């Protein structure tokens, strides 16, 4: 490999690399893992759900602090936010999905290119299965892991209790669980972590990004951009294809 650049280098407007010299070969990678909220999709779902009970500002402030890394206990921060969602109806969540959630530019194109190269795709999210399963189906994603919101009977197909449902793998998909899931799927596929790409925007994405062979920050917080091997600061997710040939 060519001598890696010592400092971050902007190889095109809004596209920064560090720690290697592009291009890399897409065919050298076998798995790409994505965060969901603000990476694959345009919103932070928990903030938009909170809007239904007039608590968006309160929840969004916690989300922002957690993504910047100022709140280091992601599980506690998520429990606090989910508790504020009590009483949100399934109909409210349907409106968030149909009216506010948008797939980010370049997501479909990047996933299509990765799959054409024989790669598998993982979505691993600190968000919720209500949204991640629909995003999975829309984009043709192979594996997902996210949190389940507890629902009780109520108006409009039920309502949120303010709690999460424990799953076989654990209670909450935080940064440590994202990393563990990436390594678990890699092992399932019989590949090395060095053959994985991990892409995210917030502090709880850093553990999985650190475990992967290529880490990518997408319109990310400064702490995440600083540690990523690729930072896409302008344009769509498919700008990664300017680095991978």
Q: What is the largest CA-CA distance in the chain?
A: 62
Instruction: Show me where the domains of the chain are located.
Output: 9-242
Please tell me the predicted confidence (pLDDT) of residue 154.
Answer: 84
Residue 35: active-site member: yes
The pTM assigned to this predicted structure is: 0.95
Please tell me the predicted confidence (pLDDT) of residue 241.
Answer: 98
Please tell me the predicted confidence (pLDDT) of residue 25.
Answer: 96
What is the rounded CA–CA span in Å between residue 135 and residue 119? 18
What is the rounded CA–CA span in Å between residue 105 and residue 200? 15
CA count, 13 A, side-chain hemisphere, 197 = 28
What is the rounded CA–CA span in Å between residue 152 and residue 110? 38
Q: List average pLDDT for each run of 10 residues in the chain, which is 245 residues long.
A: 65 97 96 98 97 96 93 94 96 97 98 98 98 98 98 91 98 98 98 98 97 98 96 98 96
Tell me the pLDDT of the chain averaged across its residues.
95
Residue 174: active-site member: no
Of 35, 47, 92, 205, which residue is the catalytic one?
35
**133: its two tokens:** 């399963």
pLDDT in tens, 79-126: 999 999 999 999 999 999 999 999 999 999 999 999 999 999 999 999
Question: Domain 9-242 adopts which CATH fold?
Answer: Rossmann fold (3.40.50)
Please tell me the predicted confidence (pLDDT) of residue 6.
Answer: 56
203: left (phi over 0), alpha (psi -120 to 50) or beta: alpha
Please report, for residues 98, 132, 165, 209, the alpha-carbon distance to residue 92 in angstroms, rounded to integers and kept in the order given: 10, 16, 19, 33
What is the rounded CA–CA span in Å between residue 78 and residue 67? 11
Please tell me the predicted confidence (pLDDT) of residue 5.
Answer: 45
């Amino acid at each position: 490999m060519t001598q890696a650049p010592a400092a971050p280098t902007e190889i095109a407007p809004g596209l920064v690399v560090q720690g290697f010299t592009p291009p890399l070969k897409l065919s050298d990678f076998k798995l790409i893992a994505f965060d969901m909220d603000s990476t694959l999709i345009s919103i932070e779902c928990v903030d938009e759900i909170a809007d239904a009970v007039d608590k968006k500002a309160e929840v969004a402030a916690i989300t922002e602090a957690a993504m910047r890394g100022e709140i280091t206990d992601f599980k506690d921060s998520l429990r606090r936010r989910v508790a504020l969602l009590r009483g949100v109806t399934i109909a409210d969540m349907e409106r968030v999905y149909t009216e506010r959630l948008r797939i980010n530019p370049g997501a479909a194109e990047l996933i299509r290119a990765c799959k054409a190269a024989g790669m598998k795709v993982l979505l691993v999210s600190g968000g919720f299965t209500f949204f991640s399963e629909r995003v999975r189906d829309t984009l043709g994603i192979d594996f997902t892991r996210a949190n389940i919101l507890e629902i009780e009977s109520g108006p409009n197909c039920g309502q949120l209790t303010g709690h999460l449902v424990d799953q076989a793998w654990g209670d909450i998909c935080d940064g440590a669980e994202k990393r563990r899931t990436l390594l678990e799927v890699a092992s399932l596929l019989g590949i090395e972590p060095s053959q994985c790409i991990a892409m995210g925007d917030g502090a709880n994405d850093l553990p999985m990004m650190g475990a992967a062979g290529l880490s990518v920050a997408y319109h990310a917080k400064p702490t995440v951009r600083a540690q990523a091997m690729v930072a896409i600061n302008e344009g769509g997710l498919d700008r990664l294809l300017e680095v991978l040939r």
